[in-house]
Structure 1
Amino acid sequence: MTQSQMGTMAEQGWKFTGSVPDRESLSEVHASVRVPKSGSWVRKLFAFAGPGYMVSVGYMDPGNWATDIAGGSAFGYTLLSVIMLSNLMAILLQALSARLGIATGRDLAQACRDHYSPPVRICLWIACELAIIACDLAEVIGTAIALQLLFGIPLVIGAVITALDVFLLLLLMNKGFRFLEAFVVSLLSIIALCFIVQIAMAQPPIAEVLNGFIPKSEILTNKEMLYVAIGIIGATVMPHNLYLHSSIVQTRAYERNDEGRREAIRWATVDSTVALMLALFVNAAILIVAAGVFHAKGHTDVAEIEQAHQMLSPLLGFAIASTLFAVALLASGINSTVTATLAGQIVMEGFLRLRIPDWARRLITRSLAIIPVVVVTYLYGDKGTAELLVLSQVVLSMQLPFAVVPLISFVTDKRKMGRFVISKPVAVLAWVVAAIIIALNIKLLWDTFSG
């Protein structure tokens, strides 16, 4: 079989079923963003920039905050190397997700539907929906906590208010996908600015910070440190992001031929890599602030978001410090709920081909997350909400293999990817990363359920 024949195979669809998608992924915005056919690399970069930043939102959502705060307050800057390692893993997996979407014209959910038998794909769909609900739980809780910290709004009411972002998403999508990307990037800028100011207030020792990015053997030998490290990695790579990225890269109107796809893959990889470096900065900044403020002053048991918010201003001596922390949390929560809701639409359409109104589909996805938060908060108060946040991260860990393994198996299959199949060294690296993530998540689950 020639390379051109393999390229045609990837273009036409999954040869195992002989089918092609009856609807493009996110058809309302598919190929809606213009891409210049000529011009400087800056114009090309700007045209393709956006999807990576939407994906990066999932790597700095409220579910990550608790593990970063706990790691910084308990062990100082030591676990910065773990944040860096998990971010490098995420860069590789997101690049593979973008490659799948561009090379095959399918998002990961559509690819699973076209490849697997009905029982298997139904199981994968259920696993993915559970992951999205779990991710949504963390984001709804984070947003509700931020509204409580900033405005004194009770958690139950704050959780209900998060349903409004469904209509915000509809408004932005109706204006065009670029408006949605601009909104997300604006909130990311607010998050980054808030932590830049907080780091300036904390004035952490630069030498110790840089030393923290060097891996230490004590991370593996210290059981408590290893547990937090596993939590950081387990909370970093989000299953729904792999589905999301493989879809939204197709919003670009690149040429649907080999040359156009090759260029799109290259720029999409640059976009996601740069955006995930921003996520690395934010996650590292949360840990650095926790280390520089709490650990350095003897408060090594700070692990909850509300506790960190209460202690920041008194310890730093700046009244605005806690406010900036809450503002960043609110921006993170809003951003994360918007992208997770969009991922829910992609998964539901890709696996089930359901055709229901956009507002109804998104409201269903959001309701599945809001209802447990409201019920638990009403029955058990703030403590129950904190435990629900932990449970959401455990559920996410359980679902991760159901997204990572299909993704890597697809991009390493020449019959599906044609000339865009990844090289053997990259394939080996991808399977090693998958094995590490799965092994660490299994240990995290074991430790969680064994107490």
Structure 2
Amino acid sequence: MLDVTGHDGAGPATAARPKPAGRRAMIGLLGPAFVAAIAYVDPGNVAANLTAGAQYGYLLVWVLVAANIMAVLVQYQSAKLGLVTGKSLPEILGERLKPLWRRAFWVQAEIVAAATDLAEVVGGAIALFLLFGLPLPLGAVIVGAVSMGLLAVQARNQQRPFEFIIIFLLGIITIGFLAGLFVSPPDPAGVAAGLIPGFQGPETVLLAASMLGATVMPHAIYVHSALSRDRHRPDPHVHVPAPALARLVKATRWDVVVALAFAGLVNIGMLLLAASTLGGAEGTDTIEGAHAAITSSLGPVIGVIFAVGLLASGLASTSVGCYAGGSIMEGLLKVRVPLMLRRIITLVPAVVLLSVGFDPTWGLVLSQVVLSFGIPFVLIPLVVLTSNKSLMGRFADGMALRIAAVVSVILVVALNLALLWLTFASAG
């Protein structure tokens, strides 16, 4: 297959002639961001957004809006880094960090990846319970088995088919989580009030951190650079002329904006649905309770559609999460574990926790808090690298983008520090 560099894989690498930048050709370059966007609509998002909407109405809408704007920014930076350098973010960090720091960085990244996978497998298991009454541990095993099939497509270097499957599942997720809004539309005045930043005690700060961790996903930032590289620059030694590279960067910008717009719409829609439907209902602090309340208020059809969306979310996001974990390990440690083996290993914690009766919804929310604390560790290196002109050349971040990225990092760190202070203050 001929890629944008003009190298067909049959002969030596040659400089490319840029292709015409027509609309149809530009659309053909889209896709990697939609795979990364799946991480933004995983079951952890469902738990955090439903909890926020059910307990506090429209209060935290502003958190999702701000987080989604931040997500567009950082995902674009990650994809651009992979395109320009031909390397993933973990690879570049693995080359620049000293051995001890590289291993320490990998440990925190793996903890983040494990928290992600826990949320995704648990969410899929809950969906199977809601749809078919299957025990949660069995549901987790089934989710893991199906995700192996999806990963097998990626393992055979079939990037485009893998993207098409994930985009199809994203469509199901969108329908599943937004269908209820057509039956129970939100209050416009409440939505407008929710756009004004504010909290109501430590619990809302915890939820905000959870929502931020569920929206700006560290593993999605790591993996997006790898997805862009694998699609457009599988051989980093092939020279890509500046016009062709500029065209790829432009296509990537649109890819990220469109994909994250879908993800943001779904996230905000979940919170609005919970606020308009679940406010004051009993038992909505769990996904099962929220599903029961949605079914009771909006009818069984909407309840089934919601559960199908949750299942698609779990299946798609756990596949992408496992792929991200493999990219992180390979880039930082230069160790490549087969995706199937990694899938089996990372499935174990979720099955064990569900088998011992751990509250699945609370586990989902806590996993997103863990992700929130992992965000600075990926954002700070990303901002530094994409601002480095010796690495990025003419594609280095401009001043406006750099300032926006620094502000994002400061906001994330400030929110996490506030969360720590309020948690210990309330405990004392």
Q: TM-score, normalised by structure 1?
A: 0.84
Instruction: Report the residue type matching 1:180 in the other structure.
Output: F
- Residue aligning to 1:144: 125
- Residue aligning to 1:373: 350
How far residue 223 of structure 1 moved from its aligned partner, in angstroms, is: 4.5
- Asked if structure 2 preserves the Cα contact closer than 8 Å seen for 1:244 and 1:343, the reply is yes
- Residue aligning to 1:24: none
Give the number of aligned pairs: 407
> What is the distance in 2 between the residues matched to 1:176 and 1:239?
24
- Residue aligning to 1:168: 150
How far residue 156 of structure 1 moved from its aligned partner, in angstroms, is: 0.8
Instruction: Report the residue type matching 1:50 in the other structure.
Output: G
- Residue aligning to 1:285: 269
How far residue 302 of structure 1 moved from its aligned partner, in angstroms, is: 2.2
> What is the distance in 1 between the residues matched to 2:199 and 2:55?
16
- Residue aligning to 1:264: 248
Unaligned runs of 5+ in 1: 1-26
Provide Cα deviations, 1:387-443, integer angstroms capped at 9, x if missing partner: 433332232223222211111111112222222211122212211101111221233
> What is the distance in 2 between the residues matched to 1:314 and 1:407?
45
Provide Cα deviations, 1:226-249, integer angstroms capped at 9, x if missing partner: 443333223211111111111111
How far residue 348 of structure 1 moved from its aligned partner, in angstroms, is: 1.8
- Residue aligning to 2:169: 187
Alignment partner of 1:438 out of 404, 413, 420:
413
Alignment partner of 1:313 out of 295, 311, 314:
295
- 1:275 paired with 2:259, answer yes
- Residue aligning to 1:231: 210
- Asked if structure 2 preserves the Cα contact closer than 8 Å seen for 1:61 and 1:139, the reply is yes
- 1:325 paired with 2:306, answer yes
How far residue 36 of structure 1 moved from its aligned partner, in angstroms, is: 8.1
CA RMSD of aligned residues (A): 2.4
> What is the distance in 1 between the residues matched to 2:372 and 2:186?
32
- 1:106 paired with 2:87, answer yes
- Residue aligning to 1:251: 230
Q: Secondary structure at the match of 1:38?
A: coil
How far residue 201 of structure 1 moved from its aligned partner, in angstroms, is: 1.2
How far residue 175 of structure 1 moved from its aligned partner, in angstroms, is: 7.0
- Asked if structure 2 preserves the Cα contact closer than 8 Å seen for 1:74 and 1:300, the reply is no
> What is the distance in 2 between the residues matched to 1:168 and 1:181?
10
- Residue aligning to 2:331: 350
- Residue aligning to 2:63: 82
How far residue 63 of structure 1 moved from its aligned partner, in angstroms, is: 0.7
Q: Secondary structure at the match of 2:156?
A: helix
- Alpha carbons of 1:157 and 1:445: their partners in 2 closer, same or farther (altered >3 Å)? farther
How far residue 250 of structure 1 moved from its aligned partner, in angstroms, is: 1.8
Instruction: Report the residue type matching 1:319 in the other structure.
Output: P
- 1:91 paired with 2:72, answer yes
How far residue 377 of structure 1 moved from its aligned partner, in angstroms, is: 2.0
Q: Secondary structure at the match of 2:152?
A: helix
Instruction: Report the residue type matching 2:93 in the other structure.
Output: C
Report sequence identity in percent: 36
Alignment partner of 2:317 out of 336, 341, 344:
336
> What is the distance in 1 between the residues matched to 2:294 and 2:164?
31
- 1:37 paired with 2:29, answer no
- Alpha carbons of 1:172 and 1:212: their partners in 2 closer, same or farther (altered >3 Å)? farther
How far residue 384 of structure 1 moved from its aligned partner, in angstroms, is: 3.5
Provide Cα deviations, 1:86-130, integer angstroms capped at 9, x if missing partner: 100111111111111111111000110111111111111111111
> What is the distance in 2 between the residues matched to 1:302 and 1:353?
45
> What is the distance in 2 between the residues matched to 1:111 and 1:172?
22
- Asked if structure 1 preserves the Cα contact closer than 8 Å seen for 2:354 and 2:360, the reply is yes
Unaligned runs of 5+ in 2: 1-8, 234-238
Instruction: Report the residue type matching 1:277 in the other structure.
Output: A
5 Å-filtered alignment, 1:209-224, equals: 209=191, 211-212=192-193, 214-216=195-197, 219-220=198-199, 222-224=201-203
> What is the distance in 2 between the residues matched to 1:277 and 1:214?
17
Instruction: Report the residue type matching 1:54 in the other structure.
Output: V
- Asked if structure 2 preserves the Cα contact closer than 8 Å seen for 1:106 and 1:246, the reply is yes
- Alpha carbons of 1:355 and 1:292: their partners in 2 closer, same or farther (altered >3 Å)? closer
> What is the distance in 1 between the residues matched to 2:231 and 2:203?
45
- Alpha carbons of 1:102 and 1:155: their partners in 2 closer, same or farther (altered >3 Å)? same
> What is the distance in 1 between the residues matched to 2:374 and 2:152?
28
> What is the distance in 2 between the residues matched to 1:206 and 1:212?
9
Instruction: Report the residue type matching 1:286 in the other structure.
Output: M
- Residue aligning to 1:204: 186
Instruction: Report the residue type matching 1:251 in the other structure.
Output: D
Alignment partner of 2:219 out of 220, 240, 263:
240
- Residue aligning to 1:389: 364
Provide Cα deviations, 1:34-89, integer angstroms capped at 9, x if missing partner: 99812522321x22211111111111111111111121112222322221111001
- Residue aligning to 1:363: 340
> What is the distance in 1 between the residues matched to 2:154 and 2:336?
20
- Asked if structure 1 preserves the Cα contact closer than 8 Å seen for 2:82 and 2:228, the reply is yes
